[in-house]
């Protein structure tokens, strides 16, 4: 896959999470086991067992047992957060930055790749690196929409436009009551 196509996948992934966060749902267990990319470049999310939805609450104290990755996000080893009380959305955003880095680099997520993440990302001069560093900084993006916006703004003019007008789907959408 070409680098432009991998960057397109990252944008699609960020967009998928921006919509999830806009619906006030945080995944909270992002890693290689919960993001599936098909050969047709479709992204599927799984592993929502420890997800956070404020209106319904959370799984509480058993989250660590249910979650594959425990209480830490993927970035905790290389980029420890300044505060310990990050929101579930900020944890998702930090993990998404790590996943995005691996997708762009076409590198498998592994303990070895996480060990060299900070060194390689800090040395990177590509247009997306500063956005990823901000997502992993001591003051991460509040949610994935706040991550997606600067990612799209930082893209060079020659980059492929992967945006989609969701307004075209409005005629096929209707409200669903998830609470009943």
pTM above 0.85, yes or no: no
Q: Is 76 helix (H, G, I), strand (E, B) or coil?
A: coil
User: What element of type H or E holds 35?
Assistant: strand 35-37
Residue 50: name the closest of 35, 36, 29, 33 by CA. Answer: 29
Write out pLDDT tens, residues 19-73. 988 988 888 777 766 777 777 777 777 666 666 666 655 544 444 444 444 456 7
Whether residue 177 is predicted with pLDDT greater than 80 in this model: the reply is: no
Q: Is 101 helix (H, G, I), strand (E, B) or coil?
A: helix
Which of the residue ranges 56-60, 95-99, 109-113, 165-169 would you say has the lowest mean pLDDT? 56-60
State the Cα–Cα distance between residues 95 and 37, nearest whole angstrom: 16
Question: Euclidean distance between the first and final Cα of the chain, in Å?
Answer: 44
State the Cα–Cα distance between residues 161 and 143, nearest whole angstrom: 22
Helix axes 144-154 and 88-105, enclosed angle (nearest 10) = 40
CA distances from 22 to 8, 26, 123, 142 (A): 21, 9, 33, 11
- Count the neighbouring beta carbons within 10 Å of the beta carbon of residue 151: 25
């Amino acid at each position: 896959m070409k680098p432009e196509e991998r960057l397109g996948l990252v944008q699609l992934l960020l967009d998928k999470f921006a919509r999830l966060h806009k619906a006030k749902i945080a995944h909270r267990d992002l890693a290689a086991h919960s993001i599936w990319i098909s050969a047709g470049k479709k992204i599927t999310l799984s592993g929502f067992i420890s997800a956070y939805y404020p209106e319904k609450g959370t799984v509480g104290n058993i989250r660590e047992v249910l979650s594959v990755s425990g209480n830490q996000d993927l970035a905790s080893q290389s980029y420890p957060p300044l505060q310990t009380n990050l929101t579930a959305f900020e944890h998702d955003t930090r993990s998404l930055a790590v996943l995005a880095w691996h997708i762009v680099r076409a590198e498998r997520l592994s303990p070895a790749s996480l060990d060299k993440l900070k060194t390689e990302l800090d040395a990177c001069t590509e247009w997306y690196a500063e956005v990823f560093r901000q997502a992993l900084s001591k003051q991460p993006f509040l949610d994935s929409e706040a991550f997606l916006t600067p990612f799209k703004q930082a893209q060079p003019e020659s980059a492929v436009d992967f945006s989609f007008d969701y307004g075209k789907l409005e005629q096929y959408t209707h409200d669903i009551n998830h609470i009943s």
